[in-house]
Amino acid sequence: MKKGILTLLLLPAFVVFAFGQSTPSADDVINKYLTAIGGTDFLAKINDLDVQMSTDMQGNSMVIMLKQKAPNKYSRTMIANGMEVFKMTSDGTKIVTGGRRGNQTLEGKDAQLGLIQGTLFPELHLAELGIKSTVEGTEKIAGKDAYKVKHTTADGAASWTDFYDAASGLKVQSVSTQKTPRGEMEQAIQYADYKDFKGLKYPTSISQGNGQFQMQITVDKVKINNGVKDSEFVVK
């Protein structure tokens, strides 16, 4: 009888121990991801990325040009029928969007999340930015287990959630709430079909949506340290 009682008392401790052993820390998950896409030493040597993508929207083919420069400058331009239909530019301090519906400028806390997510390999800089990352269990993404990691800024004003494949370590989804001219909107981005581009593993299939529409994007070219100029990121 005493042996049975002792077993029952020890069981909760064993369950907690086993759970702790099977769930990695946020640092472990993030480090595995960085290793999977090329390794921290290699990534730290990348000063800029020049990415060409393509998609189809309402039957019209579209080219998307993404340019990033360390640490957090970026521009995203969408071109249809040879004409620029949308552009988002960040100089690292504010974000300006422009298109057929007019221009919008985000600064301060309104730009905080966009600046972090636009950082070249943000996982390299989470600690120095004071961002707290926590593993909130696992979820099935595309039928596979993925660690759910919530990131929160030091002031608690912004947060987003990334999902990393438990087996490969690769990022497979990111969910955040974005500010748009129509108000706040949740956006989910799924990443798949990672391919090697001169040592960098980059997703070549990106599915992006906000509940109202879904866009399937194909990554066609990824150029590393292509000499992207600062003039690409001038905002007014």
Q: What is the pLDDT of residue 181?
A: 53
CA atoms of 80 and 59, how far apart (whole Å):
11
Average pLDDT over residues 38-59: 95
CA atoms of 176 and 234, how far apart (whole Å):
26
Note the pTM of the prediction, 2 decimals: 0.86
**What is the percentage of the chain residues whose pLDDT exceeds 70?**
86
Q: Give the CATH class of 25-233.
A: mainly beta
What confidence tens digit (pLDDT) does each residue in 1-18 have? 444 444 444 455 444 444
Say whether 133 sits in a helix, a strand or coil: strand
Q: Any idea how long the chain is?
A: 236
The token pair at 35 is 């290793």
Confidence of residue 100 (pLDDT cuts 50, 70, 90): low
C-alpha count within 13 angstroms, C-beta hemisphere, residue 170: 19
- Specify which residues 105 forms β-bridges with: 96
Q: What is the pLDDT of residue 196?
A: 98
What confidence tens digit (pLDDT) does each residue in 129-179 have? 999 999 999 999 999 999 999 999 999 988 999 999 999 999 999 998 765
Residue 108 pLDDT > 80:
yes
